[in-house]
């Protein structure tokens, strides 16, 4: 009953301008995809289409390669010819959508029964011998309607399932970000009035900075006011991000750091001895020495001692897009070379470790409070952003008492370990 034909088996001469010659590669997920295709002349296309012209509502079926894969031909706005593709011609007495769904169902058998050692192939004879179940035309239509209702439900379920899968994938990360934001607002652990006040802590840091200044290790400008003060009307300056507990203080990052400096451009070497930490070494999963390159041994003496990375230094990516703002904690135990410096795209932050929890500052800088606006606060173009050293030094930090800093870090680690079990 079905009029089954095939496209050309020969290979016409290809031209730069002409008619597309479509093959099984152009039958994709029930659709005809025009590209990629080669072009043949109008004359060759005319000769092929004398016998194998494709019309609307015909069914195309791959005969070679991806055997099966039927397509119900829609209204197309361009002419084409086919090669190594079967054509099931439209018959008004048949519901071609019903025929399409049957061929789609039967494709499994076609693939099983295809021949060819190198490339699967199904012959025109095999296609013409397919036993075709033929219900009345009205029933064909009802079957198609039910199939399409069922497929719509399948698509709806697939969409819901994909959304659920995406939520499951994103949930741990979003929960961690929420916990960090909650923690940095002073809501994760309770304040303890018996903690040493943060004002005392700041006085100790101030005294330590004065000692470093007198030793010539700190510049006078780094002795500036430590607390981000309020205006005369008791309103916050614009660099105060949000309200914090009364026992906390807003301070600038430079005021609690003994050293903030961007690395310098290295002279690279293939000698694996002196690693230089670049942006890619700073991953949210931690510091990775395996991703480091190396500097030339003859440039080692040009690095002042303060530039050598120390345990617990924060390494903050200061240029780029996507990686801007990502940071890691330097861990000397992960560096078998015993020596490392940062390159010019990474800013090193060295805190007063006797008075400040480097892990607390890391968690604040890693929180969405900072990371969600990091590129807005950076200068530069849409192709390259930069956090200047001045911006980093002036970054406002919500500072709790030291004991509370440690409690917050411990609580974050405890909660995060639970979240990890959900992954």
- pLDDT given for residue 398 in this prediction: 95
- pLDDT given for residue 323 in this prediction: 87
Cis peptide before 36 (omega within 30 of 0): yes
pTM: 0.65
- pLDDT given for residue 237 in this prediction: 44
As given in the structure block, the two tokens for residue 249 are 């203080």
- pLDDT given for residue 119 in this prediction: 72
- pLDDT given for residue 1 in this prediction: 60
- pLDDT given for residue 109 in this prediction: 78
- pLDDT given for residue 230 in this prediction: 53
CATH architecture label of 4-134: Alpha-Beta Complex (3.90)
- pLDDT given for residue 239 in this prediction: 59
- pLDDT (tens digit, 0 to 9) for every residue of the chain, 423 residues total? 678 888 877 888 999 999 999 988 899 888 999 888 899 999 999 998 988 899 999 999 888 877 878 999 998 888 999 998 889 888 888 899 998 988 888 887 777 767 765 677 787 888 888 888 889 999 999 999 999 999 888 888 888 878 777 777 778 888 899 999 999 999 999 999 999 999 999 999 999 989 988 888 888 877 776 666 554 444 444 557 789 999 999 999 999 999 999 999 999 999 999 999 999 999 999 999 999 999 999 999 999 999 999 999 999 999 988 889 999 999 999 999 999 999 999 999 999 999 999 999 999 999 999 998 888 888 877 778 899 999 999 899 999 999 999 999 999 999 999 988 876
Distance CA 291, CA 278 (A): 8
List all residues 6 or more positions away from 38 whose beta carbon is below 8 Å from its beta carbon.
14, 20, 21
CATH architecture label of 184-420: Alpha-Beta Complex (3.90)
CA angle, corner 114, sides to 108 and 120, nearest 5? 105
CA 177 vs CA 62, 245, 383: distances in Å:
50, 20, 27
As given in the structure block, the two tokens for residue 88 are 């099931």
Strands 4-6 and 85-88, by their bridges, are antiparallel
389-410 burial, b if ≥16 CB within 10 A, otherwise e?
eeebbebbbbbbbbebbebbbe
**Where are the domains positioned within the chain?**
4-134, 184-420
């Amino acid at each position: 009953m079905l009029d089954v034909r095939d496209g050309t088996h020969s290979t016409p001469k290809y031209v730069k301008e002409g008619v597309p010659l479509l093959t099984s590669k152009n039958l994709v997920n029930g659709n005809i995809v025009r590209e990629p295709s080669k072009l043949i002349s109008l004359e060759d296309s005319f000769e092929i289409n004398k016998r194998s012209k494709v019309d609307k509502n015909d069914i195309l079926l791959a005969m070679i390669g991806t055997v099966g894969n039927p397509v119900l031909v829609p209204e197309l706005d361009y002419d084409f010819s086919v090669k190594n593709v079967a054509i099931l011609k439209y018959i008004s007495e048949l519901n071609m959508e019903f025929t399409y769904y049957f061929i789609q169902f039967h494709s499994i058998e076609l693939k099983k029964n295809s021949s060819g050692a190198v490339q699967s192939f199904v012959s025109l004879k095999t296609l013409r011998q397919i036993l075709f179940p033929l219900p009345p035309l009205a029933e064909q239509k009802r079957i198609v309607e039910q199939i399409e209702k069922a497929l719509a439900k399948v698509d709806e379920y697939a969409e819901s399932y994909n959304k659920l899968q995406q939520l499951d994938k994103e949930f741990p990360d979003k929960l961690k970000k929420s916990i960090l934001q909650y923690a940095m607002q002073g809501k994760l652990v309770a304040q303890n009035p018996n903690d040493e006040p943060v004002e005392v802590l700041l006085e100790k840091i101030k005294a330590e900075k004065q000692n470093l200044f007198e030793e010539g290790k700190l510049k006078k400008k780094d002795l500036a006011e430590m607390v981000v003060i309020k205006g005369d009307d008791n309103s916050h300056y614009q660099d105060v991000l949000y309200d914090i507990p009364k026992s906390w203080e807003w301070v600038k990052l430079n005021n609690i750091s003994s050293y903030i400096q961007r690395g310098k451009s290295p002279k690279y070497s293939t000698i694996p001895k002196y690693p230089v930490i670049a942006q890619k070494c700073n991953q949210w999963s931690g510091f990775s020495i395996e991703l480091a390159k190396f500097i030339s041994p003859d440039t080692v003496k040009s690095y002042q001692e303060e530039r050598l990375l120390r345990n617990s230094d924060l390494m903050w990516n200061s240029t780029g897009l996507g990686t801007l703002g990502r940071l890691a904690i330097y861990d000397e135990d992960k560096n078998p070379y015993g020596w490392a410096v940062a390159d010019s795209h990474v800013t090193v932050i060295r805190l007063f470790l006797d008075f400040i929890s480097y892990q607390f500052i890391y968690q604040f800088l890693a929180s969405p409070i900072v990371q969600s606006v990091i590129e807005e606060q950076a200068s530069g173009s849409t192709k390259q952003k930069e956090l200047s050293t001045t911006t980093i030094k002036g970054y406002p930090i919500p500072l709790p008492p030291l004991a509370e800093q440690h409690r917050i870090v411990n609580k974050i680690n405890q909660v995060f370990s639970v979240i990890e079990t959900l992954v």
